[in-house]
Amino acid sequence: MKPAAFDYVVAESIDAAVAALAAANGEAKILAGGQSLVPMLNFRLLRPSTLVDINRIPDLAFIEEGADAIVVGALTRHHRLETAPVIARHLPVVAEAMRHVAHLAIRNRGTIGGSLAHADPAAELPMLALLLDATLHVVSHAGPRTIAARDFFLGPLTVDLAPDEIVTRIVLPKLPPATGWGFAEVARRNGDFALAAAAATLKLRDGVIGEARIAMTGIDDTAKRAGEAEALLAGRTLTPDLIDTAVAAARAGVNPPTDLHASSDYRRHLVGVLVGRALADAWRRARGEQS
C-alpha cells in the first residue's frame, strides 16, 4: 500500500508542466488533486516514472464568468465549484450535483480537470460536461487545442488526451433563460460513486419543450447523453406518459455493467427512474413552479 518510487517535478507554470510531460516520453502522470491517482499509486496499479505536480501553478485554479459561459480552470477544487455563487446562479445543476461527489475531504482536494481526465464511468463531472455541452481546452508541447465533451470520453478511464497533454480549462455554457434542470442519483452510501445518476435540462419555447438535454452516468463505459429520449421530447408538453416514453428510450440506449454492487438490469431500471425524476424536476423548474 505504498507507491513505487518516482521522480517528482513541481511545475510552476503550464509551460513547465508541458515541458516536463514531453521530457518523460509518455511515462509521466500529472498530479493534480490526486484523489484517484494516489490510490492507484498506493495499490501499484500505476507505476509512472515521473509525477508532474501542477498544484503550484497559479493561473490554473479559477472560475470566471463570461457573457454566455462559465470558464473553470482545470485545477479548481470540487468544493469551490460546489460553493461558488456564480455557479449557483448560472449552473445550479452543477452546484447540486457536486454535493454528491465523494466527501468534503475529497472535494477539498479533487480537481475538475482531474475528474474529467480520469473519466470514471460512474463519476458526476463527465455527465455534467456532456449535459452542458462543455468544451475542454488542452495544451501540449505541440500547442493548444479544444475538444467538445461529447468527443472527449472514449471509454472507461479513457479520454482523448495524449500522455503529453494537460487539460487547462473547461468552458461550461450557462443555462439559457426559461430552462429548468433536474438531477437525481442513487449511491449505496452518501459519497460513493453513483450506481446510476441522471441530469436533465428542459428549455421551454411557447410553453412546450424547445430543447431537452439528458445525461446519465454509471450506466455504460462512459457517461452518455440520451439522444433518442431528447429528440422525442422536443415540441411536447411533459406528461407522465411522455416521461414513460422518454424513460424507455433512455433505458434502451445504455449498456450498464454488472458488478458487486448492482446488476446490469438493476442499473438499467434505476437510471430510467432517475431520468424520470430529473425530467419532472426540470419541467417544474422551467415553469417556475415551487417544489
Q: Which of residues 181-240 bind another protein (CB under 8 A)?
A: 189-191
Side chain identity at residue 290, one-letter code: Q
Q: Determine if 108 is a binding residue for another protein (CB under 8 A).
A: yes
Segment near another protein (CB under 8 A); pick from 97-105, 246-254, 259-267, 280-288: 97-105
Nearer to another protein, 10 or 232 (CB): 10
- Smallest distance from the beta carbon of 109 to another protein, in angstroms? 5
Return the residue of 13, 55, 245, 264 that touches another protein, per CB under 8 A: 55
- Smallest distance from the beta carbon of 92 to another protein, in angstroms? 18
CA distance 161 to 152: 8
Q: Which alpha helices (H) appear in the chain, and where do they start and end?
A: 14-23, 37-42, 78-83, 85-90, 92-98, 104-107, 112-118, 124-131, 149-152, 227-233, 240-252, 264-286
Q: Determine if 39 is a binding residue for another protein (CB under 8 A).
A: yes
CA distance 67 to 182: 23
Dihedral (CA of 129, 95, 232, 256) sign: positive
Nearer to another protein, 117 or 226 (CB): 117
| Helices and strands per DSSP (H, E), number in the chain | 12, 14
- Smallest distance from the beta carbon of 8 to another protein, in angstroms? 4
Question: CA separation (Å) from 285 to 127, 178, 291?
Answer: 20, 9, 8
Return the residue of 11, 30, 31, 74 that touches another protein, per CB under 8 A: 31
- Smallest distance from the beta carbon of 88 to another protein, in angstroms? 15
Footprint on this chain of another protein (rule: CB under 8 A): 1-8, 31, 34-35, 38-39, 41-43, 51, 53, 55, 79, 83, 102-106, 108-109, 189-191
